[in-house]
Amino acid sequence: MTFFTTHQFFRFSASHSRGQKVYGHNYILEVITRGLNPEKESATAEKIRRTLIGKLESRDLGLDVDFLKGVEISDQVLLSAFWPIVENAARPAELSALSIKRDQRTKVTLHADAHPA
């Protein structure tokens, strides 16, 4: 699933000019499940688009997305925030891993065994 978002680089220790810069990214979200009936893949993907991607698409993550307001945005933070939403949307299948890819070099993955319950 692909979506576009923006976020402002915000860190108290960052210079003022760097803290004012807005970054835009085209993300690819990869969802890996166990036990998903192949006949339900399309319906599950649509549910994830509706419950997660629809909240993110063309939004400023730190300003417009309720569960990310005031959060310092990083790929790892996004995956941790997305996990419970995707996990719920994928049920009854079990979520095994989530990955975010934002360019050819940057891909971050969160596995079920590393995600706090």
Q: Tell me: the pLDDT tens digits for 54-90?
A: 998 888 888 889 999 888 888 899 999 999 999 999 9
Could you give phi then psi for residue 102, rounded to 5 degrees? Answer: -120, -5
Strand order, beta sheet including 107-111: 59-60, 2-8, 22-34, 94-101, 107-111
Q: What pTM did the predictor assign?
A: 0.80
- Could you tell me the domains of the chain? 2-114 (3.30.479.10)
pLDDT tens digits, one per residue of 93-104: 999 999 998 888
How long, in residues, is the chain? 117
